[in-house]
Amino acid sequence: MAKKLHIRTYGCQMNVYDSARMAEVLAPLGYVPADTAEDADMVILNTCHIREKAAEKVYSELGRLRRVKERRAQSGDGPMILAVAGCVAQAEGAEMLRRAPFLDMVFGPQTYHRLPEMVARASRGAGAVLDTDFPAEDKFDHLPATGAAATAEAGGRSAFLTVQEGCDKFCTFCVVPYTRGAEFSRPAAAVLAEARRLAAAGVREVTLLGQNVNCYHGAADGARGGGAEWRLGRLIAAVAEIDGIRRLRYTTSYPADMDDDLIAAHRDVPELMPFLHLPVQSGSDRVLAAMNRRHGADDYRRLVDRLRAARPDLALSSDFIVGFPGETDADFRATLDLARQVGYAQAYSFKYSPRPGTPAAALEDQVPEAVKAERLAELQDLLNAQQVAFNDACVGSVLPVLLDRHGRHGGQLVGRSPFMQAVHVDAPEGLMGEIVDLRIDGAHANSLSGTLSGVLAAGADLPVSFPADPARLRA
């Protein structure tokens, strides 16, 4: 009989990808997806450790799940396996089993290819399983070839593909180098094979993922060490050539790693969407240096200019941290200036959160909480206004939208514009999964609304999907 698996995913897109791969590893053991923990035989929390209280939130959720597990045992429905995966598991390790002894498995982001063994051990009742190694073997060599169905999110048309993991940059505020480990690129041949499988399964949009995706330097062939290496620009060009792949994106990029080929790809590869998430963190050189970022504010401005020269309609997104230790009012003003000068289509901003074990957490001049809150509100006002202005500016244009979800109302479909905006439209079900030109007639804070543009609405016997033509957007 099929067993049921419930995975709850927190944090970044890479965790979304990892959760999908965990489901694939467990499928041969008979596990099928369950919507809630209440009717699952196995529950996995795939956790995030990037900011505050992450661990505390996991422990409080575990308190609730413990009762679900106990109820299940009492009702005779059979045991429930309860697991914590991801970066909190990696960071807490054995401490997690001490604080939550009712857990069956605790494993990090680099070991989930061993899930079948872990499940076997946990099911034997031989005690809890802890696996937070950074194993010498590469999990990607041991995972099944992805079946796309699980990996593809959103109607199976848009999928994440991890090409790079880990980080050696050691920004002084960040836990990623500790929880995800050393920087590692998958061989280009393996990435291309996975992209081909995705395309064959109907995926039309691929987002190449990495903690530091643009430092990608994968071996050209399957072999490790020796042989030519590909950088991300070349990988993007090759993935774009795969039949069926119509849209490409990549995230997250480190400004100092944007090389000429990657910038040129924004000019030369029409499948590469005109949207880039390019975290800057701060507009103050002093703070950037204290963060151990290997770029200054002007380097970032120049980089944006070069990207926009390559792709004039490029929309930008970013991450900002306010209240890094020692940040003065003048430093913060420099951040506001930079945001104003660049102009973002959307952005994420956070209060600095001291992470145990990172260098910045040990700095003396921590910024008071109230000051952080004030600065965050001021920055968010600016970024929100920029987002609204960007959305407003889209009204009246025709955008190719990949329709991949149902809307709240009957007859409504939702998709993504080239610039990552959600777009709602009343459209026939037959257009689900297609890239359709929509006339944008409404803008909201977080989405757009559109109508099927002339030709389609008239029901002319034209194909219902058009190649996305970025040239038209620039006009």
The residues binding ligand SAH (CB under 6 A) are 12, 50-51, 173-174, 176, 211-212, 252, 279, 281, 319, 321, 350, 352-353, 355
Q: Write the DSSP assignment of 338-373 as a string of letters.
A: HHHHH--SEEEEEE----TTSGGGG-S-PPPHHHHH
- Of 254 and 350, which CB lies nearer to ligand F3S in the complex structure? 254
C-alpha 206 chain-centroid distance? 12
Part of the chain binding ligand F3S (CB under 6 A), chosen from 173-181, 360-368, 413-421, 451-459: 173-181
What is the x/- site pattern for ligand F3S, positions 236-255, by CB under 6 A? ------------------x-
Nearer to ligand SAH, 111 or 252 (CB): 252
379 is written with which tokens? 């920055």
Pick between residue 115 and residue 208 the one whose CB is nearest to ligand SAH. 208
Binding of ligand F3S at residue 294 (CB under 6 A)?
no
Cβ proximity to ligand SAH, 12 vs 265, nearer residue: 12
Residue 300 binds: one of ligand SAH, ligand F3S, none (C-beta under 5 to 8 A by kind)? none
Least separation in angstroms between residue 316's CB and ligand SAH is 14
Q: Determine phi and psi for 351, rounding to 5 degrees.
A: -75, 140
Q: Specify the DSSP class assigned to residue 226.
A: S
The residues, ordered by sequence, that sit 6+ positions from 233 with a Cβ below 8 Å of its Cβ are 259, 260, 261, 262, 263, 264, 265
Residue environment code for 173-203, b if the CB has 16+ CB neighbours within 10 A, otherwise e: bbbbbbbbbebbbbbbbbbbebbebbbebeb
- Residues 192-211, one symbol each (x = binds ligand F3S by CB under 6 A, - = not), give -------------------x
Cα Rg, the chain, nearest whole Å: 23
Per partner kind, with CB cut-offs from 5 to 8 A, the member of ligand F3S, ligand SAH, none near residue 350 is ligand SAH
Q: Does 176 bind ligand F3S (CB under 6 A)?
A: yes
Q: Which of 51, 169, 306, 439 binds ligand F3S (CB under 6 A)?
A: 169
Binding partner at 177 among ligand SAH, ligand F3S, none, C-beta below 5 to 8 Å by kind: ligand F3S
Contact 290, 326 (CB under 8 A): yes
140 neighbors 186 (Cβ within 8 angstroms): yes
- What is the 8-class DSSP label of residue 272? B
Task: Name the site residues for ligand F3S (rule: CB under 6 A).
Answer: 167, 169-171, 174, 176-177, 211-212, 254
